[in-house]
Each structure stands twice: as C-alpha cells, then as structure tokens.
Structure 1
Amino acid sequence: MNARGLLIAAPRSGSAKTTITLGLQRALAQRGLTVRGLKCGPDYIDPAFHAAATGAPSANLDSYAMTDGLLGRIAREAVDAADIVIAEGSMGLFDAVPGEVGHTGAGADIAALTGWPVVLVIDVSGAAQSVAAVALGCKLYDPRIRIAGVILNKVASTRHERLVRQGMERIGLPVLGALPREASLILPERHLGLVQAGETADLHARLNALAEAVSKAVDLDAVMAAAAATTLPTAIDDNAPALPAPGRRIAIARDAAFSFVYPHVEAGWSADGAELVSFSPLRDEAPPEDCDSCWLPGGYPELHAGTIAAAGHFLEGLRGFAETRPVHGECGGYMVLGRNLTDAGGVVHEMAGLLSVETSFAKRKMNLGYRRAVLAAHGPLGAAGTTLTGHEFHYASIVAQGEDPPFAVVTDPHGSAPVPAGSRRGLVTGSFFHAIATAGPA
C-alpha cells in the first residue's frame, strides 16, 4: 500500500476537529478501506481514539520535538499499511512555538512535510459570509500548504448554510460537508482533555454514531478525492528508537491511572528488541520480578490516589524492585514515586516514597508547553548531558521538592532560563515532562 493522506485542521481549538476526524475515520473504515490515523503534536488521548475508530494503530507527528527523519519514519509506516491516512491537527492550523522553519509544532508543518492537503473544519456559529474571510486567510497564510476544502460545523439552518456557502464560492474553496448543531457529537471530557478511549462508555456505539452523522453531512467521495499522494523526506533516520529502551524487559504500568505513553516510543522499544510487560497498580500488581526496568507513565493517579495508597503489594514490590533496577516515572508516575499526593479534596495519600517530592492536585496550576531537557546524570534515558525533547501538561503542583538532586535541567522554546526539573535518587528518576525523542548531546 502507498496511502494518500489528508490533514483535518481548524483555525482554532474547539472547532470539533477530533469528533469530525473520528467520524471520517470510522465512516471510511466501514466502507472497507484500511484507514490509519495520525495526530499532530504531543497528545496521548486522541491516538487511542483513532485506533478505536480505525482498528489500526495511530501515532504522533510532532514537528517541534522530532527530526524530519523520525517524522518521515512514523508517517511512512502508516502510509505503507493503509489505503488512506486521516491525520488530525492540534490547536489552530498555524499555532506554533518559536523554532526552525518546519519545526515549530504547527500542524501546517506536517502538511508541508507530507504533502497532505488540509481540510479545514470551521465552527460557523455566529457568522455567515465572514467565515470565508477566515478560510481565505488560512488559504493564503502559508504557501507551503494547500487547503483542499472546508467542513462547516454548527450550522444553524438551511439559510445559514446557504449564506456560508456563498462566501466560500467567492474564494473558491469547496464545501465538503456541513454538520448541524448536535450535542450528541460531543465526547466526554475531563481536565486533561477527552476522557480516555478505554474509559469512554459505549465507545464503539459513539464512534458509529459519529460515522453516521458525518456520512449524512459530508461528501465522503469528495473527501477521498481531496486526499493526495504522500511525499516524505529522503533522509530517514536509522531504526534506532526515539528514546533508548530503559531495559530489555520493561515492566510498564497500564490502567486508568497510568496510560499516557507515546505510541512511537513503545513501538521504537519493541522494534529495538525490548519486551514490554504490563502490570496494573490499580489491581495491586507489583512490577514483575523477571523485568530489568520499570516505567510508570503519566495518566490520572490524582483520580485514584486512595486506591494507589492502599495498594500495598504494588508499593512494596515497587520499592523492592527499585533497590536493584531502574525505575522511571513521567508526570503522574513521578507523583506516585514521591512521598505523598494530595487529592482534589485535600486528602493526603502516602505514595511510594522513592523520591522526596510531594505533589498536590488540590492546589491546581496549569503547566503546559514543550521542554528541552539536559540530563543531569546517567540514567535509563541516556548519559549525563543527553538532551531530550518533550512536553509537559498537568494541573498538579509541587508543594515540596525535597532533598533529591534534579533529574534534568530544562528550558522552553520561548527563551526561558534553564531550571532544574524532576528528581533522582539511586536507580529511581522522575519528572513532570514526557520525553518524546532524544535530541543528542547538549
């Protein structure tokens, strides 16, 4: 297979990119096509929905954190295994951070890299012909990309749709579909985004409903015709994983509290010969003794703090494991490795105590953005001085850092001064940022 592709994007967040993307993916899969989804930017939740909608793996394409070679490799794996790729942008199409051309984190970077045309989803509530001015701005803003058409969302009436279409005709952009206001198209959310795919009640019924709604409102044949051949960089990285495998047999926590792992990271470890062995702290399971490293991903431990604190077998097993083998925690996993975690109600729960940090979800502060982290010491993610690219998104706060030395020194793309981040003690490390790829020596 050598799939054509499309990028579903929008002028801003909150335009229903995800719901329309999922509806398109499911509807095309129901036609018998092999569909692959990809997600622009540092998002864990949407790729899991893509996988549920298509029945095939999804992954991230992050133009800030990944090299062209890594981006090309991930995209090529999807293209080679599909009839069509329906990728999803992040935020607004051109929303970005300071960076080299093509490496700003914008969805437009991915469209330019792959050659995939953009289908623009526009929330038309509160406007009519003026919507075309927004679409025209997107059409002209970046000469690297091509807008193939628009899908209108939240159309109020037949007359409203007619007026919006008049504006689109004036600028020469085809309208590929128009969805009416429909609250049932909204997927449930919580503080870090959509409720995870595995926790969404009646997920497949919801996806089928999305597919039905999109099929009625969108010209699927026109969408498929708008897709274009994939063009990728000729220089592709070798098969080295994006991040070094922390072991040859990796115990990885997986349940509703620990689920935020980038698909490309796990795929890279597996391709490098590592075996991933799942266990569930919420079921009071300890890291398997026949593993040589342990990985605690991010997720929602703050919603399950009481259960984790009462999971004596897990906590004791984790402490014993850490005496002889490396343990790393990202974000939520970092919180569980600390001394305690205060939940939203102000109740303090004792955690593993393998690091000295104390965290609180009662004192909320949003922390969001890309990070470049220089490792302070040798560990499971590389030698001292290795630079990682990553992303941080959480509402928990640190109430006491404790006495542990930092895991890394981090900066952001906006010129922030380097600051210590995370903690390390013995074979245990952790931080709030999620590593995406190794950037090489600092």
Structure 2
Amino acid sequence: MKKILIAGTSSGAGKTTISTAIMGALEGVSPFKAGPDYIDPKFHEFVTKNPSNNLDLFMMGEDAVKYIFSKNTKNISIVEGVMGLYDGLNHELDNYSSAHLSRILDIPVILVVSGKGSSTSIAATVLGFKNLDPRVKIRGVILNNVGSEGLYNLLKEGIERYTKIPCVGYFPKDDRVSIGERHLGLQQASEIEDLNEKIEILKDMARKYIDLDKILEIAEDGNEAVELKNPAEYLKDRFKGKRVGVAKDRAFSFYYSENLKLMEYTGMEIVEFSPVNDFHLPPNLDYIYLGGGYPEIFAKKLYGNSSMMEDIRKASKEIPVYAECGGFMYLTKGIEQLDGNFDHMCGLLDIKVEMKPRLNIGRFGYVDYESKDGIIGRCHEFHYSDIYDIDEENLYFELKKKNGRRWSCGYEKDKIIAGYPHIHFYGNLDLFVNLFDR
C-alpha cells in the first residue's frame, strides 16, 4: 500500500501547489486532505480525476478516518496536510494535526520547507521537525521557493548532513502557477479559466524538479491495505427510496464527498439542482440539503431567481431542509455586503447577515456541540460574516470550544435546521439520522 503525506512547516509553505503537482505527475492517485478544508480537494479532483476525501480526526474520529482512507486507495494515496505539520487544536502531540494523522494511519511524511533566504539554518528547522516527535516518519524534504539548482544542492547538503533525511527535490518560484485567494481561501478550481494550463505547468515542474521515483520508494514504507468495517453499516438502506435535492453550483459547492456517499449508502437518491440557474426545485423531493459556499458573491443572481426561492419557501413547510453556513445565509432575510449594500435572500429565517473584512476568529475552528435533541458531537466553523437583527428563538445547537468559549447557533423553524456549523456525517451519525429522519 503506497501512501505519503505532504506537509508544510507552516501555512503558506507551498504544500498545496506541490501536492497538486505530484498528484498530477503520478498515475492512479487517491487524493486526500487532512482537516476540514473544502477548497483544496477540488484541485486534487481536477488533477487526478478521482474523488478527494477529507481525513479529520477531530470531527470524524479514528475509526471513520481509517475506514475512509482504506476504502479509497488506488495505486498511491497522497494526503495533503493542513497548516504546519504539528499545528492542531492545542500544543499536545495528539492534537488532530497532520503529524497526529500520519501516526494514526502510519504514513511517511514529505516535509515542504521554504528555502528562501536560508542556508545552514534550514537544517536546524528540519532537525527540529524530526526531533519534536520521533514517532512521525519524516522520510523526505522538498524545498520551495529555491532560485537555482546550485542553491538547492547547497541546502540539500546541509539538511542531509545534519538530519539524515534525504531531499527529494525543489520547486522554483513561478508566477505562472499562482492562484488567487479570497476570504475563504484559494479561488475555487471551477473559477480558474486557465487551470488546465497551470496544471500542465505544475506537472512538468514536478517531473523536472522532483525525484518521483524516490517519492514512490518512500511511499512503500507503510502497512498492507486492510479491509475495515464501515462504521455506518447499520444505516445501510435506512432511507431507501428517498430523494434528496442537493444544491450544487458556484454559490453552493462545499460538501464533504463522503457525506454524499453516505447519503447514497443509506439509500437516498441525490438529485442536484442549482439555486442560481434552475428556475424550480426537482420534483418529488423528500429532503433538501444546502451546503456552504459563496452566496454573498452570487447574491443578486440568487435573489433574482424568485421562482427557486418561492419553491424553497414552500418546501420548507413540508419536507426537512438542512443548511450549513452558506446555505444558512441563503435562508435568512439577506446579506449586508462590505460596501454597505443589502442583498435580499429567501427570508425564511428572521435573521440578517453582515459580511466582515476578516475571519470571525471568535467562532472559528473546531467546536463541540450538543443539539436540542441531546445529541453530542463535533463540528467546524469558518466564516467571514456574522448575524444580526435576530428574531428567531428556536435554537438547535449549543456550541463549546476547548478554551471554554460558548455560544448558541443553528436555528430550527418549520422543517428547517440551519446554522454556521459544518458537520462531517461519519463522525456524527446520530445527528445525520436525526437531520433526515424528521
């Protein structure tokens, strides 16, 4: 079973660019993303033509992570890490970080290190990562932002002398492969017109500057594939014959792929629809699922599609509607943009949303929840907006961070449950059943 995890020394080290390049240069790659991110997996899927699955120890738990990893392997599994290798919920080593994940899944690590403005000191950086937790199998180093082959060889000599970890290549800075960012991270893969061209450049760079044979050799350093039991096996065909409308377009695209697969496993028929482009909901739906995304960017198109909004208003009185983050914003009275303009939304929840110029850090990150029904689980919040003029009282979630901060979120009205929290169903099976069993 070939497997590697590509991690960085910090956010911005270049792991997404280098992971995508290596995924494109190799054949039969099963891509994965450590942590809760929705955007990076879409680049993985674009370049490999295979689904990319999130592996999030906090939200999913070890059993679900091991199961999803084992059942989605092809020739080689490549996991892109999250933040820096050891960055997680706290300063413990079992902190749901990329390093923690690599130990749970017994994956060798390739460490991406910036070579900019460094010499012998770069060896101290790599040595520190090696020694912080000797259980983490750092088996190779890739240097990013290196100006020349001569500089790479100089840095390589120092790293290998003092750490005994081989350098397996480098990436020079190349503006042709840069990808713009916005408030939730990188632009979405579907928005980048010249993405095919960028990917071809990245693949060529990987073949030219990375020792791919050495990568494959390192990836052999793992256990044999093991067939694991599906933690949701008891839910097989639980919702057989039910049709669920899933909002899928440029405004709503944040879904964990295994959430959708679980829905199909339980017997649901997924029918995709576009709140931006379709005039009406698909017929004969039993549920509606509105995922996260960018309703604020497509607000005028969403509000201009009055027939779709009216269908959703009517449906919410009759069938369960579950909405996360962007989907939740869509159901409110409207969104106040950064320029002060107010864009009306569905008006199903008597709440207004205000966009913010920076991340809502008070409600960012991993959160424990208890639902109104007494269900306990874990979720994630990440949003550049906040709510105001709140005239809804029927709250569904009580949320608590590890630092003791508490708040309430998630609103229940008619057949709707909607809020900012993102849920991975595999780590929250009781909640999954409750959401679709109403």
Same-fold status (TM-score > 0.5) = yes
1:157 partner amino acid: S
Question: 1:125-167: per-residue Cα shift (whole Å, max 9, x none)?
Answer: 1111111111111111112221111001111234422331121
Residues in 2 aligned to 1:285 and 1:247: alpha-carbon distance in whole angstroms: 25
State how 1:14-25 maps to structure 2 within 5 Å.
Answer: 14-25=12-23
Match of residue 386 from structure 1: 375
Q: CA deviation at 1:359?
A: 0.1
Q: 1:440 to 1:144 in 2, by over 3 A?
A: farther
Q: CA deviation at 1:362?
A: 5.2
Match of residue 313 from structure 1: 307
Q: CA deviation at 1:280?
A: 0.5
Q: 1:238 to 1:276 in 2, by over 3 A?
A: closer
- Residue 141 (structure 1) aligned with residue 139 (structure 2): no
- Residue 113 (structure 1) aligned with residue 111 (structure 2): no
Residues in 1 aligned to 2:89 and 2:241: alpha-carbon distance in whole angstroms: 33
Residues in 2 aligned to 1:150 and 1:285: alpha-carbon distance in whole angstroms: 51
State the identity as a percent: 33
Contact 1:114 1:232 in 2 (8 A): no
The alignment covers a number of residue pairs equal to: 423
- What is the DSSP-based 3-state SS (H/G/I as helix, E as strand, rest coil) of the residue aligned with 2:283? coil
- What is the DSSP-based 3-state SS (H/G/I as helix, E as strand, rest coil) of the residue aligned with 2:379? strand
Residues in 2 aligned to 1:297 and 1:240: alpha-carbon distance in whole angstroms: 25
Contact 2:183 2:358 in 1 (8 A): no
Match of residue 213 from structure 1: 205
Q: CA deviation at 1:59?
A: 0.3
- What is the DSSP-based 3-state SS (H/G/I as helix, E as strand, rest coil) of the residue aligned with 1:283? coil
Residues in 1 aligned to 2:84 and 2:311: alpha-carbon distance in whole angstroms: 44
Residues in 2 aligned to 1:195 and 1:292: alpha-carbon distance in whole angstroms: 33
Question: 1:81-124: per-residue Cα shift (whole Å, max 9, x none)?
Answer: x110111000000001149864x220012211111100001111
Match of residue 434 from structure 2: none
Contact 1:330 1:434 in 2 (8 A): yes
Aligned-CA RMSD value? 2.2
Residues in 1 aligned to 2:165 and 2:93: alpha-carbon distance in whole angstroms: 27
Residues in 2 aligned to 1:195 and 1:247: alpha-carbon distance in whole angstroms: 37
Q: CA deviation at 1:58?
A: 1.0
The one of 11, 27, 31 equivalent to 2:9 is 11
The one of 36, 39, 45 equivalent to 1:42 is 36
**TM-score, L = length of structure 2:** 0.91
Contact 2:356 2:384 in 1 (8 A): no
- Residue 225 (structure 1) aligned with residue 217 (structure 2): yes
The one of 302, 325, 330 equivalent to 2:324 is 330
Contact 1:309 1:349 in 2 (8 A): yes
Contact 2:331 2:348 in 1 (8 A): yes
Residues in 1 aligned to 2:370 and 2:65: alpha-carbon distance in whole angstroms: 22
Q: CA deviation at 1:400?
A: 2.1
Q: CA deviation at 1:233?
A: 8.4
2:25 partner amino acid: A
Match of residue 402 from structure 1: 391
Residues in 2 aligned to 1:232 and 1:388: alpha-carbon distance in whole angstroms: 29
Match of residue 275 from structure 1: 269
The one of 355, 363, 366 equivalent to 1:370 is 366
1:41 partner amino acid: G
Match of residue 83 from structure 1: 75
Q: 1:225 to 1:235 in 2, by over 3 A?
A: closer
Match of residue 292 from structure 1: 286
Question: 1:218-274: per-residue Cα shift (whole Å, max 9, x none)?
Answer: 0110111110224678874243579x9799211111101000011111111111211
